[in-house]
Every structure is written in C-alpha cells, then in structure tokens.
Amino acid sequence: MVITVASVVSIIKKIIDISIVWLMFYIILKNIRSSVKLTLLFKGVIIIVILKIVSDVFGFTTVGILLEYIIMYGPLALIVIFQPEIRNILEQLGRSQLLGRHKVLTVDEREHLVYELVQAVDYLRKQKIGALIVLERDVSLGNYIEKAKKLYADLSSDLLISIFFPNNPLHDGGVIIQGDRITCAGAVFPTSSSSKINKRLGTRHRAALGIAEETDAIALVVSEETGRISIAVKGELFYGLSLDDVRIMLIDELRPKADSELDEEALEEEEIYEEDN
C-alpha cells in the first residue's frame, strides 16, 4: 500500500473532524449537567426516543403516530419553552473558563477563603443579618456580574459583614466571589420554582437554589429571621447547617477534582486492604 501526502492529509482531516464533533458533544453535555432543568429535559428526550423504538418494535400504531408528532414539532416547542436556558448555555460557551478560578488557588489560599467565609457567616448568623454569598466555579457568572455593583476587592470577613449590614444599599442583593476576591455586590439571581423548597423560606433561599440549579456555583445563605445557615449546591439546598458543616462542605466542594479523585482512590484502596486483612 502506497502512502501519499493526499492520503495523510485526508486522515488528519477526518481525525480533526471527529475530534471537533466529540468536543461539541462534551461541551453540550457538560453544560446540560450543570443545569438541573436541562438535565431533566435531556432525560425526557431519551425516554421519548426509547418509547419510539419500543413502539416500532411491537407495532404500537397509535403511540407511534403520537410520538412522531412529538419528535416532529417537539424541537420547536422546546426552543420556545426553554429559550432562557438555551440562551444561558450559549452565553456560558462564550464566557466559560477552561479552568475554574478556585482550581488555581493554593491550599493556603483555599483555607484562607474558607476561614474568612466561616468567620463572616458566624457573625451574620449571631446578629441575624441576612446574606447571600455565591462562589463561582467552572460556569461563568459574568452575566450576573455585569448587572451588579463591581467591587474587585480582596476577600475578608469584615468586608462581607459590612456589605450585608442593615441599611447598606447593597445588602439586599448577593455577593459573587471569584477565586479569593469579591467581584461584585448587589447581584440578582433567578429564583427557584422547585416545590421541594420549604414555603417558609424567603427570596434569598430561592435565589440561592435558583443559581445552584442554573450553574455549578456554591451559594451560602444566612437567614434574616432565624440566623440559620444554608448552602445550595448542585441543585440542592442544605438547610440549617452548623459552622463545622459549612466548613467541611466548602473545603470539599472547592477542592480541585483531581485531588478529590485521588482521595476517593486512596479510600477505596484502604477499604480493599482492610477487607483482605
């Protein structure tokens, strides 16, 4: 077999073509995973496809015709219904960071970040001062930062406390932290419409859960009425946490994925070793 320059170029083009397609799938699935609504939508599409295959195999005529109409006109309906989510994904593709800012922080910087946050929420809970603090991770929060009051200040518990102090013009909104710096204050986030959230919880908790559903951010909430601390992450709200719980969750969530995987592997090896002995 004679290898020519044209054949080599053709192979390289095919490799690049396949790589681009896989990269597109990876980016789409990554953004779907960071949004609870889009994850449910993706599962729904898979269920419809499976039902269509089953109806074709077993000859369910009525179900097959109904599913054909859904598949035919479904994409148009989804574009209309989920227009905000689709727009957010397109914005995130343009603004997303290849590496989350927290990943380039040193161990000491992460410890300092957690320490200042815990100190701030401890004071706020004792004084029953309401607060909403959001930590950006892989998904950019640039669209929320643009509409808020820019600060770009070094993180400190005193600054956080002063921002949320009553009668401060910025205390009603949320604070966004990128890495170990306070980027902005007075940020407004989408509120969650989840039926699982307690009806007694206010706008701050719903906003925290809303941003945790839309992105992979970590949202800390201090209740103005009870002084209780909550954390919203990965589409879930953990209510009434102790300071130790907050510290442990922050350390775990801010740890780079590589470190987390190494810890899990070490734990598995330790369990296997104990079972063998």
> The domain at 101-259 falls in which architecture?
3-Layer(aba) Sandwich (3.40)
- Any idea what DSSP says for residue 191? P
Dig out the tokens for 205 from the structure. 């908790």
Segment 1-58, tens digit of pLDDT: 556 778 888 888 889 988 888 887 777 776 666 566 667 777 888 888 888 888 888 8
pLDDT at 34: 59
Report how far residue 206's alpha carbon sits from residue 226's, in angstroms, rounded to the nearest whole number.
16
60-83 pLDDT tens trace:
888 888 888 888 877 787 777 767
pLDDT of residue 83: 72
Q: Quick one: pLDDT at residue 31? A: 64
Q: Please answer whether residues 219 and 203 qualify as being in contact, where contact means their C-beta atoms are separated by less than 8 angstroms.
A: no
pLDDT of residue 102: 45
Phi then psi dihedrals of residue 198, to 5 deg: -60, 130
Domain ranges for the chain, please list them.
5-95, 101-259
- pLDDT by residue for the chain (277 residues), tens only, comes to 556 778 888 888 889 988 888 887 777 776 666 566 667 777 888 888 888 888 888 888 888 888 888 888 777 877 777 676 666 666 655 555 444 444 467 888 899 999 999 999 999 999 999 999 999 988 888 889 988 999 989 999 999 999 999 888 888 889 999 988 999 999 999 898 887 788 788 899 999 999 998 888 999 999 999 999 999 998 899 999 999 999 999 999 988 765 544 455 544 555 544 555 5
Contact 181, 112 (CB under 8 A): no
What is the layout of strands, in order, in the sheet containing 236-241? 149-154, 181-187, 174-178, 131-135, 218-222, 229-233, 236-241
pLDDT for residue 268: 53
Q: What is the pLDDT of residue 66?
A: 86
- Give the pLDDT score at 126: 94
Provide DSSP, 10-55: HHHHHHHHHHHHHHHHHHHHHHHHT-HHHHHHHHHHHHHHHHHHHH
What are residue 142's DSSP bridge partners? none
**pLDDT value at residue 99:** 41
Write down the pLDDT at residue 188.
93
Neighbour count for residue 101 (Cβ, 10 Å): 18
Closest CA to 237 of 92, 89, 39, 36: 36
What distance in Å separates the CA atoms of residue 155 and residue 250, rounded to the nearest whole number? 15
pLDDT of amino acid 192: 87
